[in-house]
Amino acid sequence: MKIRLIFALLVFAISAPALGQEQEIDIDSLIADLTSGNSSVRMGAAQALGESGDERTLDPLIEALGDEEAMVRIAAGDGLSFLASNGIASGRAVEPLVQALNDQDANVRVNVAEALGDIKDPRAVDPLVYALNNDEDWGVRDQSVGSLGLIGDPRAIEPLIMALQDESETVRSSSALSLGRHFRDSRAVEPLIRALQEDDSPAVRWNAVDSLGMLEDKRAVEPLIQALNDDEESQVRVFAADALGKLRDVRAVQPLIDALGEDEDSVVRSNAARSLGLLGDARAVEPLILVLDEGDSFIRMAAAHSLGLLGDSRAIEPLKKALEDEDDEVKIWASYSMAKLGKTEYIDTIRAYLDLEDNYGVRWTAAIALGDLGDSRAVEPLIEVLQYAGGWDTRTNAAEALGKTGDPRARNPLLAAQKDESLDVRDAAAAALEELDLKEGLGQDGSSSKYEETRRETPD
């Protein structure tokens, strides 16, 4: 929704004084500027106050939500959103923001909906649901979907399911994704399957597929296989190949083998290779060996990794050849798989990549591979990945690998990761903490996990 603020920011850039990164911001002067007779000055002040990250700006920005000029109200909403995303906006902003959801200007409503999501107060759920159901502007409805997902209250599930029928493709797509990424409720399975099978929008279909993979419900297996085989949009097939690995159902083995060998899209094929490793079926060994000579390095990488997961000795000689691959990450996963197959001397090959300071991608891949093998030398690099990697999937892999190391240094970073914005990362961190407990003799006695409640909460 930030794109809708371009005009406001351009005006600010023209009319307001430049605030350099190292220039000290005079909060009191900016607050005074909110009463200026010049609306451009008021707008610039509201924007700068929000970006200041100073808690003294909260009440002035709340008051600015009532400004007569829409551009000032837009900037105030944006500023409150910025404060909230940095943990500053408090609950006392909720009621004024809820009232501003009725603002006549759609851009204001978009920004206050975003701020409510960043604050994550459950009092905002019903007003956001009302906006989702009734606002005439698709941007407001779409932002309401995003904010309801961030709040994570189960009252949003049924409205989000209904939003799969919204007239806006963007709203339907966001709703499809939110149902899997933020909620994981089985009520969404059948509606998501219908969206996959009936919606004309490729974006809606691929987000429905992604969520069905995250829901891990077996009802989705056959529809996902059909999407992998027949959907004309490659991105839908990309997500279907990935989702079928998460469902771990043997019905998917042959369709994934077919996609590995025949799909015209290389990302579909690499996802098929990765999922075949997760399914653990020996039928996949020979097809995976064949693609170790594939021209695309991501396919070779996925195949090398999956052959180790399958644990079949037929892969040893082909993997030895893959150790000479021109791509470092292929060599890392080939070494990993050799170690999984009992050739533990290849662990040293992976360790050498931990010293690469100028290539974080390769270094982090090596850390994840070593962590999965339980090597304690990977702990510090894995903590780095968990804290700084931009992709939620990479952070998830790091959390899982930290659990397998059994190293107590991982505990505090994993506890911190339970406030990650991604439910997948929070789940992986909770599971890893349970692994650490077991290895330290702190395991549970059959009762529910002490991390279960935390892993399902939306982070502050």
Condensed to tens digits (0 to 9), the pLDDT of residues 270-323 reads 999 999 999 999 999 999 999 999 889 999 999 999 999 999 999 999 999 999
Strands (E), 274-425: none
Domains for the chain: give ranges and CATH numbers. 1-151 (1.25.10.10), 152-247 (1.25.10.10), 266-342 (1.25.10.10), 343-460 (1.25.10.10)
Rounded to whole angstroms, the Cα distance separating 82 from 178 reads 22
What is 94-135 written as a DSSP string? HHHHHHHTT-SSHHHHHHHHHHHHHHT-GGGHHHHHHHHHH-
Helices (H), 221-295: 221-230, 234-247, 253-262, 266-279, 285-290
**pLDDT higher than threshold 60 for residue 10:** no
Condensed to tens digits (0 to 9), the pLDDT of residues 175-211 reads 999 999 999 899 999 999 999 999 999 999 999 999 9
pTM: 0.85
Rounded to whole angstroms, the Cα distance separating 51 from 82 reads 6
Condensed to tens digits (0 to 9), the pLDDT of residues 21-58 reads 445 678 999 999 999 999 999 999 999 998 888 889 99
Contact of 229 with 254, CB cutoff 8 Å: no
